[in-house]
Structure 1
Amino acid sequence: MADTALKPEGPIKRAIRNAGWLLAGKGTGGVFSLFYLALTARSLGAEEFGIFALILSYGQAVTNLAQFQSWQTVVRYGAQHEAAERPDKLLRIIVFATLLDFGAAAAGTLLAIGGVYLIGGEFGWTEGDKNLAALFCLSLLFGVRGAPTGVLRLFDRFDIAAYAETVLPTMRLLGALAAWASGASIAGYLAAWAAAEVVTTAAMWWASLREIRRKFREPVAGSPIRGVIGENEGLWAFAWTTNINTSLNLVWKQFPVLVVGWAVDAVAAGGFRIATQLVGALNKPTIALARAIYPEFAKLAVVDKSLIQRTVVRACLIGAAAGGVVLIIVLLAGKGVLELIAGEDHLFVFPILIILTVAAMFDLSGVAIEPALVALGRPGTVLRVRGITSILYAVALMWAVDVYGSLGAAVTTVGASILLLALMLGAFRKYGAR
């Protein structure tokens, strides 16, 4: 009995525990998102909500394009230095990731503002809409919280990260309520979203700095940044590869909304945004598991790579089961929820919602494969797979939307999800056992 009581947690159990903390934040966000989505869609109306959705998707797309996923760098290299008890090297990785965040934010600001005035007209934006989009992008790009997120996940403080992440949906909900009560226009709702980003970033930095002070109670000798490249093999390649991987994710999330807005109209783009957000809210438990399991893979890659394969299989089975549950929920209750949240004007989205849920099932079935490959030092493999799939998806998407509208975008998304899962699975079978 004593042995059983003292038996350490396995990676799946620990990941589920940490996913529970993430879900406490993300789950709260999912519930709150339904409320502020309903307030925004109903108060703005179909046409103005479509413009709002296009600006939001554009801003988030540029954010994904510009920002490095520095939290993955902190976790992967930080896990090695923590295991080797080298606090000096660990601190240098954290400083490196922080500088990476702020450098990307500065470059992204210029990219965002230039893009608004170059292509904004393609979405039917007026000069006023363009100015709003530029200001909104500026606020998003100052929401640099990659490094603090990595610190909290590396130090296994998913509980604190969960509390900090509840700030974002809470502030969005409060902002949406204020905008709704005052009868605000698109600008009011964009201001609420922007303020939520800035406040959330401040909360994440405050929480991570407190953990850093606790971890490094004694002064750490040496320069806080000098030598970081030499003592972390493949650091730049890893940072750039994970950044490009994340940039390709925008093809899956924001690009379809933008293409629908470009090829059809703002109302269709707003409807597609609602469908993707509803599917995203239902998928939050499994997405939380994927984020929680990456630090476990990073640690297993240091001490016992053989456990990764078994952990991946178990996590993917959990993801597949969750995807099936989500599809059943959407089939039974999706239309009623859609009408309750977005009103009758957006009931045309229901077939799209079902199709996107099918795509999500395939995405969730491979939930652990990508983080496992990255933890095993194969971000280049992930990049190649995502690159091939994203190029094919983008080409097929533009053709399908032009011919079949929003429905074409949804069906193309299913095909891309199936292809991505097949290629990721093939890559893991090739490299996972090595």
Structure 2
Amino acid sequence: MEPQPALPKPITPFARAMRNAGYLLGGSGIGAIFGFLTTIFAARQLGLRDYGILLLIHSFTGALATGTRLQTWQPMLQFGTALSEALARTRLQTLLRHCLLLDGVGALAAVAIGIPVSIFCSHLLGLAGYERATAVYLTCALFMNTGATIGVMRITDRYKMAVVADNLSAFIRFGGAVLGFWLHWNLTVFLTFWYFSIVAAFLADGVLLWRLTKLTPSLAGFRLTGGPWRSQEIGFWKLLLPTSIDQALISLASRIDILIIGSLLGGAGAALYRVATQVSDALMQPAVFLSPALYPEFVRLREQRDWASLRKMTWRICRLLSVFSAPVLVIIYFAGSTILAAMLGKHIPHTRDLLLWLTVASIIGLWSIPLEPLLISLGRAKTVLHGRVWFLLLSLPLFYVLTRTYSVEGAAIVVFIRSAAIFTTRLVPFLMMSETKLP
């Protein structure tokens, strides 16, 4: 009798999370390179002031899109994982329709709110004289909500697909920046290319969603008009609203910061702060991609009620992130200012402290990466939300005062304080839960 071949060793949740994070990192690494090159070409062609205006218009649009966006991928993942495995086609497809509808409603709300604000409040945003360009660009918010598609990709473990749209957008912006530098384009043409990059990414996500409905048994035969639009999953809104507000605040915080700096220091100040943030954040990207890869694993372990594995995996990732952070600080200390000067095309004195404050804030934010998905997966979404809301609101007056007094370095100090306070609101609940059983 011939010996039976050994069965492949099942992949652990930690290994699967690392693998998926690797897919996201590999794809986004290309996007990050395109992003750096785009900044180099665009900043040189437009100059610091006009490049700052470009960033302000894009940040304002992104702030509105984020502020009105519901994180529909969360219910798609939290409820859809079990529905997909159980082949509950009707319930899963209803859930998908509901999430797609909410994506569309959020996009329409962003445009409806943003256009009058851009016209009547342009002087407060540092965009006086650019009202028409801002209002037109705002309509690209119609193409910024793809949460339902992201949720389907994570349910079906198609992380390789998830980077396609982002890379396409980054590639188009890079191509526009190179052409703009070569042909001496103005701000209007640059805005046009950025607009088109967003539309292209949206269309790519739409094609991927259509493809996944053909490949996934529980989504076979899906039609937008083929059934009910309202999901009956218990806890749908209880999960969706806190996580949406929390994610909106994450994105809004950085965009509001840029808008405040733009109103106080002008386009040049906004550009310096934005590119400095880009430098500090870029070095942290390998770890950032753990977060979307962790959510499905935490959901699976929650469904299995394996609290010991959840706790072990969380601590393991925290240790990994701590080791990763040390060389990043060394790079920023010795080479951060040089990298910043290369991107801006000019040397800005006394930028080391600015970069160090922003980098330490990013590192502290990294330590929240395993804690937020864990708390949300265990039904503690309100805890995550409350910690961010209060410290963001409390930090805004301080951000205004220190920016006005100490310029962009004062802004970076407030970002550090805010990040440390928010991390504490994640760590304490986790430590309190570490000796208890899974809820």
Q: Structure 1 residues 2, 277: closer, same or farther in 2, change over 3 A?
A: farther
What is the match of residue 104 of structure 1? Answer: 106
Query: How far apart are residue 154 of structure 1 and its match?
Result: 1.1
Cα distance in 2, alignment partners of residues 122 and 237 from structure 1: 35
What is the match of residue 274 of structure 2? Answer: 273
What is the match of residue 283 of structure 2? Answer: 282
Residue segments in structure 2 that go unaligned for 5+ positions in a row? none
Match of 2:317 among 315, 318, 321: 315
Aligned residue identity for 1:259:
I
2:101 counterpart of 1:133:
no
Moved over 3 A (4+): 1-5, 216-221, 223-229, 345-350, 430-434
What is the match of residue 19 of structure 1? Answer: 21
**1:65–1:247: 8 Å Cα contact kept in structure 2?**
yes
Aligned residue identity for 1:34:
F
Query: How far apart are residue 218 of structure 1 and its match?
Result: 5.0
Cα distance in 1, alignment partners of residues 405 and 420 from structure 2: 22
**1:74–1:93: 8 Å Cα contact kept in structure 2?**
yes
- The alignment yields a C-alpha RMSD, in angstroms, of 2.3
Aligned residue identity for 1:289:
L
Cα distance in 2, alignment partners of residues 3 and 112 from structure 1: 62
SS of residue matched to 1:254: helix
Cα distance in 2, alignment partners of residues 349 and 35 from structure 1: 20
Give matches, 1:385-424, under 5 Å.
385-424=387-426
SS of residue matched to 1:320: helix
What is the match of residue 156 of structure 1? Answer: 157
Which range moved further: 310-319 or 2-11? 2-11
Cα distance in 1, alignment partners of residues 62 and 366 from structure 2: 22
Match of 2:355 among 344, 347, 353: 353
SS of residue matched to 2:11: coil
Query: How far apart are residue 324 of structure 1 and its match?
Result: 2.1
Aligned residue identity for 2:402:
A
Query: How far apart are residue 123 of structure 1 and its match?
Result: 3.5
Aligned residue identity for 1:282:
L
Cα distance in 1, alignment partners of residues 211 and 278 from structure 2: 33
What is the match of residue 183 of structure 2? Answer: 182
Match of 1:115 among 108, 114, 117: 117
What is the match of residue 302 of structure 1? Answer: 303
**1:322–1:364: 8 Å Cα contact kept in structure 2?**
no
**1:271–1:349: 8 Å Cα contact kept in structure 2?**
no
Q: Structure 1 residues 219, 173: closer, same or farther in 2, change over 3 A?
A: closer
What is the match of residue 197 of structure 1? Answer: 198
SS of residue matched to 2:310: helix
TM-score normalized with structure 1 length:
0.93
Give matches, 1:22-61, under 5 Å.
22-61=24-63
Kindly, what percent of the aligned residue pairs are identical? 26
Q: How many residues align?
A: 432
SS of residue matched to 1:6: coil
Aligned residue identity for 1:273:
R
Which range moved further: 130-139 or 198-207? 130-139
**2:173–2:194: 8 Å Cα contact kept in structure 1?**
yes
Residue segments in structure 1 that go unaligned for 5+ positions in a row? none
**1:327–1:361: 8 Å Cα contact kept in structure 2?**
no
Residues 312-338 of structure 1, C-alpha deviations (whole Å, 9 max, x = no match): 111222222222222222122212211
Cα distance in 1, alignment partners of residues 121 and 74 from structure 2: 32
Query: How far apart are residue 358 of structure 1 and its match?
Result: 1.0
Aligned residue identity for 1:211:
L
What is the match of residue 65 of structure 2? Answer: 63
